[in-house]
């Protein structure tokens, strides 16, 4: 989730939070999402974004573009 989504788009459209990354984390890791869903969701969103950024960097480094 980007800052724009959190601060601008979600309030304007009245869209709720996406708990998809938290659900994935609950399936893959021994975490209880129901106990603290907002924290797990934030960490899962950050981790997925970081992993996607790392893969993007590796792809760029390998010379693949577009």
Q: Which residues contact 64 (CB under 8 A, 6 or more apart)?
A: none
Indicate the SS3 state at residue 29: coil
* Confidence (pLDDT) at 1: 65
* Confidence (pLDDT) at 26: 84
Query: Per-residue confidence of the chain (66 residues) as pLDDT tens digits?
Result: 678 888 899 899 998 888 888 888 888 888 777 777 788 888 888 888 899 999 999 999 999 986
* Confidence (pLDDT) at 63: 92
């Amino acid at each position: 989730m980007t800052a724009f989504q959190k601060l601008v788009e979600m309030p304007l459209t009245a869209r709720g939070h996406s708990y998809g990354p938290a659900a994935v984390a609950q399936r893959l890791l021994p975490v209880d999402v129901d106990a603290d869903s907002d924290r797990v969701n934030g960490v899962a969103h950050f981790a997925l974004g970081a992993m996607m950024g790392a893969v993007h960097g590796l792809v760029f480094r390998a010379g693949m573009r577009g």
